[in-house]
Chains A and B, each alone.
Chain A
Amino acid sequence: MAASTLFEKIWTSHVISDLGDGFALLHVDRHILHDLNAMKSLVELRERGYAVRNPELTIATPDHGVSTLPGRNIDTVPEGAALLRGYLEETRRAGIRSFDMNEDGQGIVHVIGPELGLTQPGTLFVCGDSHTCTHGGLGALGFGTGRSEVIHVLATQSIYQKKPKQMRINFNGTPGKGVTAKDLILYLIGQIGADGGNGHAVEYAGSAINAMSVEGRLTICNLSIEFGAKVGMIGPDDTAYDYLHGRRFSPAGANWDRAIAHWKTLPTDAGAKFDREIDVNVANVGPQITWGTSPQHVISVNDVVPDPATAGDAARRDAMNGALDYMGLTPGQPIAGTPIDWVFIGSCTNSRISDLREAGAIARGRKVKPGVSAWVVPGSQQVKQQAEAEGLHEVFKQAGFEWREPGCSMCLAANGELMPRGQRSVSTTNRNFEGRQGPGARTHLASPSMAAAAAIEGAITDVRKMMV
Chain B
Amino acid sequence: MEPFIRLTAVAAPLLTPNINTDVLIRVEPMIKVPKGKLGPYCFEAWRYLPDRSENPDFILNKPAYRSAKILLAGLNFGCGSSREPAVWALADMGFRCIIAPGFGDIFFNNCFQSGMLPIVMPVETVEKLAKLAQSQGDLAPDFTVDLERQVIVTPSGEDIAFRIDALKRRALLDGLDDIGVTLAAKAKIDAFQANDLAQRPWIYRY
Contact = CB atoms under 8 A, between A and B. Distances in A.
Contacts of A318: 16
Interface in A123-177: 123, 128-130, 143-149, 151-152, 155-158, 160, 162, 164
B182 to A, nearest CB: 5
Given A160-B178, A162-B165, A434 B45 contact: yes
Given A16-B188, A434-B45, 7 more contacts: A22-B165, A65-B31, A152-B179, A294-B18, A315-B16, A412-B27, A434-B23
Contacts of B183: 50, 155-156
Interface string A415-446: 00000010000000001011110011000000
Interface string A241-263: 00000000101000110110010
A80 B30 CA distance: 12
A413 interface: yes
B104 A27 contact: no
B155 interface: no
* Nearest 6 CB-CB pairings of A with B: A148-B113, A146-B84, A195-B76, A251-B202, A146-B110, A144-B82
B45 A123 contact: no
Given A228-B105, A431-B22, A258 B202 contact: yes
B2 to A, nearest CB: 13
Contacts of B83: 146
Interface residues of B, number: 57
B31 A145 contact: no
B45 A155 contact: no
30 contacts: A16-B192, A21-B167, A23-B165, A48-B177, A50-B179, A79-B31, A128-B82, A129-B81, A130-B81, A143-B106, A144-B106, A145-B106, A146-B106, A146-B109, A147-B85, A147-B110, A148-B84, A152-B178, A152-B179, A155-B182, A198-B102, A198-B103, A198-B104, A256-B202, A296-B18, A319-B17, A421-B50, A431-B80, A434-B45, A435-B45
Contacts of B106: 130, 143-146, 225, 230
A53 B193 CA distance: 12
B102 A195 contact: yes
SS of B interface (majority): helix
Nearest to B104: A228
Interface residues of A, number: 77
B182 A319 contact: no
Interface string A51-63: 0011011000000
Which of A29, A129, A228, A318 is most buried by chain B, counting CB atoms within 10 A of its CB?
Answer: A228
Nearest to B74: A315
B113 A149 contact: yes
A83 B31 contact: yes
B179 A151 contact: yes
B45 A146 contact: no
Contact of B105 (A56, A164, A255): A164
Interface string B180-204: 0011011011001100100111111
B79 A194 contact: yes
B112 to A, nearest CB: 9
Which of B44, B102, B203 is most buried by chain A, counting CB atoms within 10 A of its CB?
Answer: B203
Nearest to A158: B189
A433 B23 contact: yes
B182 A25 contact: yes
Given A65-B31, A130-B80, A414-B27, A19 B16 contact: no
B166 to A, nearest CB: 6
A308 interface: no
A36 interface: yes
Contacts of A152: 178-179, 182
Contacts of A130: 80-82, 106
A322 interface: yes
Contacts of B203: 29, 57, 120, 123
Contacts of B20: 294, 431, 433
A319 B16 contact: yes
B128 interface: no
B37 to A, nearest CB: 14
A379 B205 CA distance: 26
Interface string B86-104: 0100000000000000111
Contact of B167 (A23, A144, A258, A413): A23
Nearest to A416: B28
Nearest to A431: B80
Contacts of A122: 200
A318 B19 CA distance: 13
A315 B202 contact: no
Interface in A12-42: 16-17, 19-23, 25, 27, 29, 36
A118 B106 CA distance: 23
Interface string B47-63: 00010000000000000
A251 B45 contact: no
Nearest to B192: A16
Contacts of A296: 18
A344 B106 CA distance: 27
A199 interface: yes
Contacts of B167: 19-21, 23, 160
A121 to B, nearest CB: 11
Contacts of A164: 105
Given A145-B82, A151-B179, A435-B45, A21 B109 contact: no
B84 A147 contact: yes
Given A21-B167, A148-B113, A198 B105 contact: yes
A80 B189 CA distance: 37
A434 B22 contact: yes
A322 B16 contact: yes
A17 B179 contact: no
Given A130-B82, A145-B106, A439 B22 contact: no
Given A147-B84, A316-B17, A228 B79 contact: yes
